[in-house]
Amino acid sequence: MTATLVPPATAHAHRDPNVLRWLAAYTSSMLGDSVYYLALSWAAVQAGTPAQAGLVMSVGALPRAVLMLGGGVLADRLGPRRVVIGSDAVRCAAVLAVAALLFATSPGLWPLALLALVFGTVDAVFMPAVGALPARLTEKDQLARVQGMRGLAIRLSSVVGAPLGGLAVALGGAAAAFLLAGALIAVSVPLLLAVRIRDLPTAAKTTAWSDLAAGLRYIRRHRVLGPLMAAIALGDLGFVGPLNVGLTLLCDRRGWGASGMGWILAGFG
């Protein structure tokens, strides 16, 4: 898959069809993410003990924390557009496979743990690639606007995706929510195939290992970036996982159901 050069910008980013295609793809993918996480935490709590559910959520968070920098190197090597398309395709296939399994039987926790592992590993590649795309979509004077549109898409997916996932669980169980998540992620793939990006200046050829080592050295020596990454990692491990499992248990025991959980999560957005 070769990148197609973007012609010089003649309109603001919010009027550029190419940027809008990317924004629609990104929003659909993020909506799928929100539905997926709600479905995963709800299904894990229903299938096992709180400790087991927490383990399932940790299985998904660990590869993201460990492999993220390597994912950035891979995105640089293969190109962010190609990596994002491949990541969305793999995530969609994994979520739909578990949805089909849950519709057919009650397999317990093992497929949920496997899904969390696959999803978290692919996310470690997807997230840095997604972050690299805006600079290749538009001119430098429109980049801040594109990043603002991306931030709006993230908030919109949080506000809309969680209640949507809760409604899907309430109507058809975790299997229906996984099916919805897979369908939303699938929508992003054809949109991304239609997105055109521009090439950045070619850097000197290096090995993947040297790029990874250089990235680690840069983080370790940076006065702000190193502590900031450590704080984000600790916050993610100490807050996001317990929040998902604890909120699921609270909603289950008080009779609020998955739809109540979705509305509470929307408040965070």
- Mean pLDDT (the chain) is 82
- SS3 for 45-102 is HHHCCHHHHHHHHHHHHHHHHHHHHHHHHHHHHHCHHHHHHHHHHHHHHHHHHHHHHH
pTM (2 d.p.): 0.81
More confident residue, 95 or 71: 95
Q: What pLDDT is recorded for position 176?
A: 94
């197609």: which residue's tokens?
Answer: 4
Q: What is the mean pLDDT of residues 235-259?
A: 78
Q: What pLDDT is recorded for position 205?
A: 66
User: CA triplet 30, 33, 36: central angle to 5 degrees?
Assistant: 155
């604890």: which residue's tokens?
Answer: 246
> What three-state secondary structure class fits 122?
helix
Contact present, 175 and 45 (Cβ < 8 Å)? no
Q: What pLDDT is recorded for position 7?
A: 47
Q: What pLDDT is recorded for position 200?
A: 59
Closest Cα to residue 161, out of 45, 24, 33, 39? Answer: 33
DSSP for 152-175, please give it: HHHHHHHHHHHHHHHHHHHHHHHH
Share above pLDDT 90 across residues of the chain, in percent, rounded to a whole number: 22
Burial class (CB in 10 A: 0-12, 13-18, 19+), 15: exposed
Domain 17-198+241-268 adopts which CATH fold? Growth Hormone; Chain: A; (1.20.1250)
Q: What pLDDT is recorded for position 1?
A: 46
**Structure tokens, 267:** 């408040």
More confident residue, 117 or 247: 117
pLDDT of 182 > 60? The answer is: yes
Share above pLDDT 70 across residues of the chain, in percent, rounded to a whole number: 90
C-alpha span between 150 and 217 (Å, rounded): 29
Q: What is the mean pLDDT of residues 137-163?
A: 84
Tell me which DSSP letter residue 224 carries: T
Q: What pLDDT is recorded for position 201?
A: 58
